[in-house]
Structure 1
Amino acid sequence: MRTFSEDADDPDAGLSRDSLSTMIYKRLRSNLMTCAFEPGERLNIRHLAAAFETSPTPVREAIMQLVREGGLELRPGHELRVPVLTVERYLKIKAVRAPLERLATETATPLISDTTLNELARINEKFLSAENKKRWKEALSLNTEFHFTVYAASGNEVLLNTIENLWLLTGPFLINQYPSAIHPHDSAHPHLLLIDAMRRRASREAGEIVLQGLEKGSSLIVKKLTTHQARKGKPNR
């Protein structure tokens, strides 16, 4: 985790409180999107402030923004934690994500540069290496980087921000795909198929590849969430 200090020797020391709060917010938001925190995990503002080497105030401001967005929840007694997603809630989010991610991919395909396509190949190599080493959270972070590099190439910041908001709500639960979600590391890997389709400017094909990947991952997540809820005797609500 990146740290922030108010020490005079720190290059960030001159930042205003609002700027510091924004930086902390972005870092925590990224962590939530890439499964750095576990579902149900309790967070402590003072501990986070110590990690960022700052006072609790900018951390609290960042936290409250994430609470408003649904990435964190504040329970009675001021207990702050990562939400625990139900199957029904997850499926509702996925139903919105799917067409938007397909649209972003199809829009990006005729616009994406060769430089960005080469960057996607580089990210994918690191992603496959993380999977081979069973570093699941690292793999999830790289998978997120891969997909948002694609979506950013659409040039539509409204679409990109909307997808990011939806990933924020589901990020901590993506770990439920592993290790079942591993595709064979060969030329038929979905990331390689997507890069190839985008190089050929095959927009519909690229969109379909992204959609299929989301459907497969979602089925694994739903299976694990259903099993977990059944063990706890909780309804899928």
Structure 2
Amino acid sequence: MALRGDTLTDRTYQKLRQALMTGALLPEQVLTVRGVAEDFGVSLTPVREAVQRLVVEHGLEVVNGRTIRVPRLDIETYREILKIRMELECLAAKEAAPRISNEEIERLDAVVQSHLSAINAGDAHRTLLENTEFHLSIYRASGQPILVRIIEGLWLRVGPTLNLLFPQYCGSLTGHETHMVAMDALRRRDGDALGQAMRDDLTHGSRFLIRLLKP
């Protein structure tokens, strides 16, 4: 049975959205409708519709009426997003601590180890991918879908810019260490400690990134 057009659009949108959130796309990278359609194995229409949705969400931008490009954040926008993330992600973490299942905690253990492996291998893309999986999995465990959707919208805008952290930042184990602190807080169901671990993780990475974004 053929897939409906709206299903293809939704799937294409989710794939592009995931690519933006995990840093698979770079700041100022130019996309073409045809290229995305070929990569995803869909027709042009679902790509156009997915791109339109992401333009509205500021995940993509259209330049000169036709060029699709990944935005590059300026330092003022990044700082504003960071302040909002500090509050919302800590809130989601606190809500997640008493709700997250033991099975999900075990799965996150594997994500943390995969993240460490990517750092040690100097694999920037996999480092970002596993970092995104770790954070968003915790926030999704909060059981607060509106809050999570807002947080994902912020990651959508920040994800590509995180590529600027590499290769210099890729060897740092600070991110892994804060993830280990977060895992300990999860096991103890300590929402305050988990929220602080998320705040510490954001603080450390943002200090490095802000230096790179300064004109």
Deviation, 1:164, is 0.2
Match of 1:47 in 2: 35
> 3-state DSSP class of the match of 1:189?
helix
Instruction: Please state if 1:107 is matched with 2:107.
Output: no
Match of 1:70 in 2: 58
Match of 1:129 in 2: 117
Q: Which amino acid aligns with 1:83?
A: P
Deviation, 1:214, is 0.4
CA contact (8 A) 1:37 1:82 kept: yes
| Partner Cα separation in structure 1 for residue 99 and residue 195 of structure 2 | 14
Deviation, 1:78, is 1.0
> 3-state DSSP class of the match of 2:62?
strand
Q: Deviations over 1:97-135 (max 9, x none)?
A: 110000000111111121111111001111111111111
Deviation, 1:72, is 0.2
Deviation, 1:183, is 4.0
Instruction: Please state if 1:151 is matched with 2:139.
Output: yes
Q: Which amino acid aligns with 2:17?
A: R
| Partner Cα separation in structure 1 for residue 210 and residue 145 of structure 2 | 30
Pairing partner for 2:207 from 210, 216, 219: 219
Match of 1:119 in 2: 107
CA contact (8 A) 1:31 1:37 kept: yes
Pairing partner for 1:34 from 22, 29, 37: 22
CA contact (8 A) 2:122 2:171 kept: no
- Structure 1: tracts of 5 or more residues without a match: 1-12, 231-237
- Structure 2: tracts of 5 or more residues without a match: none
User: What's the C-alpha RMSD, in Å, of the aligned pairs?
Assistant: 1.6
Match of 1:234 in 2: none
> 3-state DSSP class of the match of 1:74?
strand
Alignment of 1:156-171 (within 5 A): 156-171=144-159
Match of 1:180 in 2: 169
| Partner Cα separation in structure 1 for residue 38 and residue 198 of structure 2 | 39
Match of 1:96 in 2: 84
| Partner Cα separation in structure 1 for residue 91 and residue 171 of structure 2 | 25
| Partner Cα separation in structure 1 for residue 171 and residue 30 of structure 2 | 29
Q: Which amino acid aligns with 2:173?
A: P
CA contact (8 A) 1:181 1:220 kept: no
Q: Relative contact order (C-alpha < 8 Å, sep 6+): which is higher?
A: 2
> 3-state DSSP class of the match of 1:111?
coil
| Partner Cα separation in structure 2 for residue 180 and residue 53 of structure 1 | 35
Match of 2:46 in 1: 58
CA contact (8 A) 1:102 1:210 kept: yes
Q: Which moved more, 1:190-199 or 1:171-180?
A: 171-180
Question: Cα gap change, 1:100/1:61 in structure 2, threshold over 3 Å: closer, same or farther?
Answer: same
Deviation, 1:185, is 7.6
Percentage of matched positions with identical amino acids: 37
Match of 1:192 in 2: 180
Query: What is the TM-score when the length of structure 2 is the normalising length?
Result: 0.95
- Number of residues of Structure 1 aligned to a counterpart in Structure 2: 214
Query: What is the TM-score when the length of structure 1 is the normalising length?
Result: 0.86
Deviation, 1:181, is 5.8
| Partner Cα separation in structure 2 for residue 32 and residue 202 of structure 1 | 31
